[in-house]
């Protein structure tokens, strides 16, 4: 997914704009259109996945966005470019929230941050691999009379289609249905399946009635959209990941403009260390968060590192050395997604039942992508090559993110304390009467305690 989504950054170093006769503003418009379609189809896709089954829906989406990516080989002008970006965004929309919900059917609340970091680490790995692949494929300029960026879109798109087709036969429906396709006897024995389900229910009793085909109801949609416990995490995603899109899309171009004395295509290789640092920090923060069962302070501290790196890009003087600007950019890239799995795991663990959780995770992925529409437009042609104004705005957004992490911690602590005070002296009869008469369910139930 990240190869197909992020290959635009690599294409920009191979005269992509000149070949199509478009400007950087058109490229940012394409990114905005991608994001609009990505956001519009997030929630509908996460509602469909519960009915169609993840083992079918996820591979189906992969094939569709792979085909859309490969079709960019045939781009002719501004219009075809914008149409293709819309299609890629539409078909990629349901993948990330779908995978996040899918993982909750296998892992306990205290295990999700590490698992999601493994999932999102593929983003950093993909970006690193993308630089190497792009360096090789872009040298195909002239083969069959086509530009190197056309071959880049074609090969990476067809690779996604191939993996999507294999996934139809390899991806199981859930922990109790791992047989079939190329899985033959299944990934788990009957006893292992029983253990998997038992440990999930002991950790979160709201999963007792969950199946991969549980339908998301209108009530689930309404409760997720109106939950005051979800929205601080949604805002964290929006403001905290504002720097992600411009750093990802424009980093090779920024390095190219630094004129470090290397060939333009080498710029794709020079940004790889940033993704390696990002992978390392994200893995450690997620592991530590699960180990200590703590979310807010891990997110706040990681955001502080990110903010300081962005600040460096804003305050370095105009006559700063090229190497100092380069290293500031690389370390800033290292903070891009360092707390992202922690926040997603926080939402997944604090939202129940599964229908509400599906919508909440889709809302979160919408927020982290909707911010792209704002962030990429902070970096305009007239501000090149330093984009200082944009970096100052991103620094302010990260300061707000830190405040939101701390607020959400004490907000949830307050809710837990109020519930504890209300039910402290309840007898079994009080609980029985409450369960028989209440409309509270999932995380709204008075027995539910939020993690923070």
User: 1 or 89: whose pLDDT is higher?
Assistant: 89
Q: How far apart are CA 14 and CA 18, in angstroms?
A: 9
Say if residues 398 and 390 touch (Cβ distance below 8 Å). Answer: no
Q: What tokens appear for 111 in the block?
A: 């295990």
The model's pTM is 0.76
Residue 250 in this model has a pLDDT that exceeds 80: no
User: What Rg value do the Cα atoms of the chain yield, rounded?
Assistant: 23
Say if residues 364 and 343 touch (Cβ distance below 8 Å). Answer: yes
Residue 61 in this model has a pLDDT that exceeds 90: yes
Domain 2-212+220-444, architecture per CATH: Up-down Bundle (1.20)
Q: For 150-203, write each residue's pLDDT tens digit.
A: 999 999 999 999 999 999 888 888 887 777 777 777 888 888 888 888 888 887
What phi and psi values does residue 380 have, to the nearest 5 degrees? Answer: -110, 160
Give the position of tokens 């950093």.
124
Comparing CA positions, the residue from 237, 242, 252 lying closest to residue 329 is: 252
The pLDDT of residue 229: 93
Q: For 251-296, write each residue's pLDDT tens digit.
A: 887 888 777 777 767 777 888 898 889 889 999 999 999 999 999 9
| Number of Cβ within a 10 Å radius of residue 171 | 20
Arithmetic mean of pLDDT over the chain: 87
Q: How far apart are CA 217 and CA 412, in angstroms?
A: 26
Q: What tokens appear for 75 in the block?
A: 């781009």
Q: How far is CA 337 from CA 26, 127, 247, in A?
A: 26, 13, 11
Say if residues 380 and 222 touch (Cβ distance below 8 Å). Answer: no
Range with the lowest mean pLDDT among 19-23, 206-210, 359-363? 206-210
Q: How far apart are CA 385 and CA 82, in angstroms?
A: 25
| Number of Cβ within a 10 Å radius of residue 359 | 27
Q: How far is CA 412 from CA 72, 363, 393, 404, 444, in A?
A: 46, 19, 29, 12, 12
What phi and psi values does residue 175 have, to the nearest 5 degrees? Answer: -65, -20
Residue 207 in this model has a pLDDT that exceeds 70: no
Mean pLDDT of 102-113: 85
The pLDDT of residue 177: 79
Range with the lowest mean pLDDT among 240-254, 282-296, 301-315, 358-372? 240-254
End-to-end CA distance of the chain: 31
- Predicted confidence band of residue 51 (pLDDT cuts 50, 70, 90): confident
Q: How far apart are CA 27 and CA 85, in angstroms?
A: 10
Q: How far apart are CA 405 and CA 296, in angstroms?
A: 5
- Predicted confidence band of residue 2 (pLDDT cuts 50, 70, 90): low
Residue 177's DSSP bridge partners are: 174
- Predicted confidence band of residue 206 (pLDDT cuts 50, 70, 90): low
Share of the chain above pLDDT 70, in %: 95
CA 411 to chain centre: 25
């Amino acid at each position: 997914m990240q190869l197909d989504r992020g290959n635009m950054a690599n294409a920009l170093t191979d005269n992509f704009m000149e070949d199509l006769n478009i400007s950087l503003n058109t490229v940012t418009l394409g990114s905005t259109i991608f994001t609009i379609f990505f956001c519009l189809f997030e929630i509908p896709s996460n509602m469909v996945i519960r009915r169609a089954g993840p083992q079918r829906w996820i591979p189906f989406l992969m094939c569709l966005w792979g085909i859309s990516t490969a079709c960019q080989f045939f781009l002719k002008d501004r219009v075809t470019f914008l149409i293709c970006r819309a299609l890629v965004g539409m078909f990629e929309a349901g993948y990330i929230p779908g995978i996040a919900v899918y993982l909750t059917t296998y892992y306990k609340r205290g295990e999700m941050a590490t698992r999601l970091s493994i999932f999102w680490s593929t983003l950093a790995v993909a970006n690193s691999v993308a630089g190497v692949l792009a360096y090789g494929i872009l040298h195909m300029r002239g083969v069959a009379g086509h530009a190197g960026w056309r071959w880049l879109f074609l090969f990476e798109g067809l690779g996604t289609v191939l993996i999507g087709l294999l996934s139809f036969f390899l991806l199981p429906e859930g922990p109790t249905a791992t047989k079939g396709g190329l899985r033959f006897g299944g990934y788990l024995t009957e006893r292992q399946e029983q253990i998997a389900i038992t440990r999930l229910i002991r950790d979160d009793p709201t999963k007792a009635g969950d199946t991969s085909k549980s339908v998301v109801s209108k009530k689930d949609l309404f409760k997720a959209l109106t939950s005051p416990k979800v929205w601080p995490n949604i805002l964290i995603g929006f403001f905290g990941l504002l720097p992600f899109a411009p750093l990802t899309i424009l980093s090779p171009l920024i390095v190219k403009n630094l004129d470090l004395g290397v060939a333009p295509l080498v710029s794709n290789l020079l940004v790889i260390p940033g993704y390696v640092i990002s992978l390392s920090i994200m893995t450690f923060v997620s592991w530590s968060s699960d180990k200590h069962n703590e979310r807010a302070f891990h997110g706040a501290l990681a955001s502080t590192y990110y903010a300081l790196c962005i600040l460096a890009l804003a305050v370095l003087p105009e006559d700063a050395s090229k190497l100092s600007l380069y290293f500031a950019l690389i370390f800033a890239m290292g903070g891009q997604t360092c707390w992202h799995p922690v926040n997603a795991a926080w939402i997944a663990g604090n939202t129940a039942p599964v229908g509400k959780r599906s919508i909440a995770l889709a809302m979160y992925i919408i927020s982290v992508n909707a911010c792209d529409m704002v962030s990429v437009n902070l970096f305009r042609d007239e501000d090149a090559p330093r984009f200082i104004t944009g970096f100052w705005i991103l620094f302010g957004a990260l300061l707000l993110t830190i405040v939101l992490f701390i607020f959400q911690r004490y907000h949830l602590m307050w809710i837990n304390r109020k519930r504890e005070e209300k039910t402290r002296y309840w007898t079994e009869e009080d609980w029985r009467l409450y369960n028989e008469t209440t409309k509270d369910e999932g995380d709204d139930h008075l027995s539910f305690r939020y993690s923070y």
